Chains A and B, each alone.
Chain A
Amino acid sequence: MSEISDSVDAGAPKTLMWRSTLRKITTSTVMTSFLAIVVALLIGAFLIAAADGDVQRTAGYLLTRPGDFFAALGDSVGSAYASLFRGAVFNYSASNPGDFFVPLTKTIAYSVPLIFAGLALGMGFRAGLFNIGAQGQIILGATLCGYIGFTWHLPAGIHLIACLIGAFVGGGLWGFIPGFLKAKTGANEVIVTIMLNSVALYLLGWLLTLDSFRNPDSYLPVSPRMLPTAWFPHFFSTAIDLGFVLALLAAVGVWWLMERSTLGFRIRAVGDNPDAARAAGMNVSMSYVWVMVIGGGLAGLAATSQLLSSVSQQLNGNIASTFGFDAITVALLGRSKPFGIVLAGLLFGGLRAGGYIMQASTGTPIDIILVLQSIIVLLIAAPPLIKAIFRLPDPERRTKKLAKAHARLEEKAAKESVEEVTL
């Protein structure tokens, strides 16, 4: 919707050029995204303040001493968001100058699964497929990757590659099912992927009760730890590991696939208009299967950052966390383009990294991050709403208004001509 160019101003005189430029900036997608983030942070601030004890107490005598109220308000919101920033970007209160940018490395580490899964869903969106199944694909990727990781004994490096292949195959397999069913029977991929998410969760739950998967030293249903030969190498002893590099490579790979390869062209054509693609001789069914298999594989790779990195390293029921659903928001915020998805993944990774610090230092639960994320995505998905909030010009509404005005004029002219005839 937002892609509609401001054709109304195409023939505007040069004196109005600055207005058209201004409009272009304010109606651009970057501006919408930025304003959506601002609104989300404001709503988040309201929630933080509303749940704060001091704010509630001072609100009781707001009219007599408003200063107290606003001080408490600023204090609660300020300290929460400051710790969010401190946990995600720059730790200004670190004692050691070398630790200033530790939060940024954490942000990058948290962004890796989001980028992988976001790329997977973004590919599907561009093919017109709603792959809600990243959650299940991550779980299956984790299952295969994990099994290879803790049972096979291979030399370092080769073991890592085997694990990566396992993750890709596991996720790809779980993506193949809805793709194949869609191609063969027309089964709706949204329903199938939602159902497969739950199936995957129970399948993993069952596998973790088996002796071949279960860690004999633990009472909990968890697998043994990954063997060190399968771990990602870390860079300069920071939280950043090979996973981030692979995620960036995957982003470049997806960009090449979608923008430069024949398959990608076919996928985009199918996404834009399946009937036209079919009429042009493209195999629509096979495109669906390919998108789901490659997407599923990418989602499966999201599991590697949980297993082969320093976060969890053992298979458990919560291995996919909420990455599959977060990835939907990442893909939407990134507008299904690889570069956008990397940025969106970094933003949400930062919110997660900062959220943990915020929870630890100010007691604001990390759940508020979910609220921020969902508000951002809702607002971005509805550009006219954000424009209405900030009273920005809306090109679409403008065109509509003009069209209405034209229609009114024409109607008037028609009426007049009718009147002339009758006279």
Chain B
Amino acid sequence: MSSTVIEHELDHELPSEVFLPRSWKMPIALSIFTLVAALGFGLSLSNTAVSRVAIVTGNHWMGTLNFILPSLTTIIVLTVIMAAMAGIAWWASANRIVKIGRVRIAFWIGVIFGTVFVLAFLLWAVADRGHALQFTSLLSGALFLSVPLIFGAMSGTVCERVGVINVAIEGQLLFGAFLAAIVGSMTQNPWLGLLAAPIAGALVGALLALFAVRYWVDNIIVGVVLNVLVGGLTSYLFSTVLVRNTDVFSIAVKLPTWRIPILCEIPVIGPILFAQNALVYIMYAVVIILQILIFKSKWGLRLRACGEHPRAADTVGIKVNRTRILNTILGGAIAGLGGAYFTVAAGLAFGKHMTAGRGFIALAAMILGGWKPKGALMAALLFGFADNLQNSLGVIGVEVPSQFMLMAPYLVTIFAVAGLVGRVRPPAMEGKPYKG
């Protein structure tokens, strides 16, 4: 990951005679998508088509809101907004404007355009169908599906910031899910399962640290092999011990859903964010704590120093390899906690390879999020949304091949890594052993 083109963000003021190169990628892309929306969604609808949208507000007084929107008119309005965003992008590129005040134009245009485009797509997809678009469940499902992705991406962020590439997220999730299920089932207590999950992840993280930091083995090799090891070990134990004693090891236990008293009464947002189980609340805390600590605390500074310039860190007295080992184990524990999602949070017993590649999507989310907790959170939510959209459209009966929806996160990541969408820069010395 070190050979990626390094492009520093130009945060400081430039002398007035120096011009940034114009980039036309964004306006061109936005214009193409606007055309797609106008032609693809607009032209294929009749004048009388209506789109139904149901929003469960979760509030006593408001109840469920049912909207019946004229599809064509609504989509025309949305397309005009998209065209306006594309226009602003053209204007910004032509005048080399990157920021207005502290606000990065490209980011916000992208967010607004993306939201509007997805909305137009949804209204087009449900136009003239018997089912209404269940807005609230679409979003709350997306949040729930992104839980393991977020934990995995946080784990990746911690590990890579300290200089160890963590490809073993998949294995950490799987082992976390495994131990959480076993402990939860044996004790009949989902909380103990939740407690066991990070221990399992930390074990895999410790192995990663042992080989990557202590023995200088290539991080990616260790990661890939650990995934195979955990996959094989859990499948082996599943087929032998678990299958023979289902009454002991395979009883599904589930974390209760906690409705946060006042917050869950907030219309729409309440039932989405504050009627979840404990794992989701832990996730909020982990993301916020990491975002603050990585960039504002002594621990975070040391962490980043070990990943960016270990020799400099060593010179000022930071024990580089010790820091790397401890934080890789911490990262493993975070991913392991995310593994609890598959078993005790979802109320399922363990199944072979039940993480099904989520660790790799988490890796993608971390990269797309620019190795920052906040960005990784956004990317993971986006991927969770794409995943849930695919389920929801299937329920409505829309003929979009589900494979393309599932492919989307991976394709977006490839574009991002190739520098077509945004710019991402990994920690400079990640994956490089520090030999002191």
Contact = CB atoms under 8 A, between A and B. Distances in A.
B419 interface: yes
A197 B240 CA distance: 30
Contacts of A382: 211, 215, 217
B1 A368 contact: no
A190 B219 CA distance: 11
A82 to B, nearest CB: 18
A329 B403 contact: no
Contacts of A195: 360, 364, 410-411, 413-414, 417
Nearest to B5: A186
A2 to B, nearest CB: 12
A181 B357 CA distance: 23
Interface in B208-257: 211, 215-218, 220-222, 224-229, 231-233, 235-237, 239-241, 244
Interface in B72-129: none
B4 interface: yes
A181 B419 CA distance: 10
Contacts of B38: none
A374 B225 contact: yes
B229 A202 contact: no
Contacts, number: 146
A51 to B, nearest CB: 4
Given A132-B220, A325-B224, A328-B224, A206 B236 contact: no
Contact-residue size bin, chain B (C-beta under 8 Å from the other chain): 35 or more
A18 B167 CA distance: 44
Contact of B418 (A192, A202, A322, A368): A192
Contact of B222 (A209, A325, A371, A381): A381
Contacts of B36: none
B301 interface: no
Interface in B180-233: 211, 215-218, 220-222, 224-229, 231-233
A365 B401 CA distance: 36
A206 B404 contact: yes
B403 A186 contact: no
Nearest to B233: A371
A33 B129 CA distance: 63
B229 A370 contact: yes
A61 to B, nearest CB: 20
A367 B236 CA distance: 5
B164 to A, nearest CB: 14
B33 to A, nearest CB: 20
A187 B419 contact: yes
Given A365-B239, A371-B232, A381-B217, A199 B410 contact: yes
A341 interface: no
Contacts of B417: 181, 187-188, 191-192, 195
A230 to B, nearest CB: 27
A114 to B, nearest CB: 14
B330 interface: no
B363 interface: yes
Q: Is the interface of A mostly helix, strand, loop or mixed?
A: helix
Nearest to B407: A202
Contacts of A377: 221, 225
Given A185-B418, A191-B364, A374 B232 contact: yes
A51 B239 CA distance: 10
A1 B216 contact: yes
Nearest to A381: B217
A187 B418 contact: yes
Contacts of A186: 3-5, 419
A194 interface: yes
Interface in B389-436: 401, 403-404, 406-407, 410-411, 413-414, 417-419, 426
Given A367-B236, A378-B211, A382-B217, A198 B403 contact: no
A130 interface: yes
A283 to B, nearest CB: 16
Interface in A198-237: 198-199, 202-203, 205-206, 209
A184 B420 CA distance: 12
Contacts of B363: 191, 194
B279 interface: no
Contacts of A282: none
Interface in A348-397: 364-365, 367-371, 373-375, 377-378, 381-382, 384-385
Nearest to A195: B410
Contacts of B419: 185-187
A77 to B, nearest CB: 14
B30 interface: no
A311 interface: no
Interface of A: 1, 47, 51, 53, 130, 132, 181-182, 184-188, 190-192, 194-199, 202-203, 205-206, 209, 322, 325-326, 328-329, 332, 364-365, 367-371, 373-375, 377-378, 381-382, 384-385
12 contacts: A51-B240, A130-B220, A132-B220, A187-B418, A187-B419, A188-B417, A192-B417, A195-B413, A196-B410, A329-B228, A365-B236, A385-B211
Given A192-B417, A202-B403, A367-B232, 14 more contacts: A132-B220, A186-B3, A186-B4, A190-B1, A191-B414, A195-B364, A202-B406, A206-B404, A328-B224, A332-B221, A365-B239, A374-B228, A374-B232, A385-B215
Q: 4 tightest A-B contacts by CB?
A: A370-B232, A51-B240, A374-B229, A382-B215
